[in-house]
Structure 1
């Protein structure tokens, strides 16, 4: 399995931007193919989960990077016609993100910490 980072941008169409409901449908569609809006790694020896910025995902797949991009593009286009997709295959990364708190619907009350995935 390969590890991937995915970034999706829904561009305005005729001056109309994607709304929260559109992004909620996008997040649900991405979850159905195994994408997560969080990243888990080790920080100072402890496993921690962190929230990714809006419309960014991590996932594992047997597909190569081009096939995964094409599969994602097909699904995203059903949610919003004008979109941009970035898919990166990665083995290591470091971050400074908000710690994931499942009980909260927003980032209120979360803390930012440094993380590392290896």
Structure 2
């Protein structure tokens, strides 16, 4: 079972919690429906952000969608650090960086 040790007793019994699925770090940028670009850690419930998804016909679509919840536990944990992949894109004279977990989908 994947996970991490949260308690270990004298009898060597170990309780394991499943790994959390954290996709982005807080520095990821998003486009809000008011035209502003913000970091993920600045989002609030109710903000409308640009999202991409596949339709039932397997078409990639984009739309603005409200933030329904925020995972407040996405903070760096020195004991159990999250592994991220770094993707770099270049457009004109700027380079952007995206940090995501290895299991996150991207297009």
- TM-score, normalised to structure 1's length? 0.25
- TM-score, normalised to structure 2's length? 0.26
Q: Which has the higher contact order (CA 8 A, sep 6+)?
A: 1
- For the pair shown, which has the larger CA radius of gyration, 1 or 2? 2
Name the structure with the higher helix share.
Answer: 1
